[in-house]
Amino acid sequence: MKLSHLLTAQHIIADLQGANKFQIIEELLDLLHQNGQLSNRDQALQDLLAREGYLSTGLENGLAIPHAKTDGVRELIIAFGLKKTGIEFESLDGKPAQLIFLVLSPRDTSGPHIQALASISRNLKDSRVRIALLKARSVDDILAIVKKFEA
């Protein structure tokens, strides 16, 4: 599964404004909602927050992947946001998250959800990708970086 096939310009925020992880999650979710990607925004938010309450989705090296299976979407969707100053995300390494991918998929599917999470993790393991994304100045820059480094 290629990340560039799932991530579109309409699903990227190059400068997230939220002041905490919950505001960041809602900001990315609202972007998807504004683009008609959600069948039920409130259900999607409820499922994301429940998943986040169970175990933080803050990983390492500035990466966070809030995700959930939900009846609030009809198909797998991904949004990405960049928070260059970082945001506390209860990450595994204790460092702030700067690269935030939000992943939602229908409750009754497993394969694509797991493949999307794996694809993001695999691509962002490369420090060159993380550094390039942090230097990105626009949505177009972000898309070009994702395509250039895609594993």
Of 39, 26, 24, whose CA–CA distance to 106 is shortest? 39
If you compute the radius of gyration of the chain from its CA atoms, what whole number of angstroms results? 14
With b for 16 or more beta-carbon neighbours within 10 A and e for fewer, the 52-81 pattern comes to beeebbbbebbbbbbbbbbebbeebbbbbb
Whole-number Å distance between alpha carbons of 151 and 124: 10
Active site residues: 67
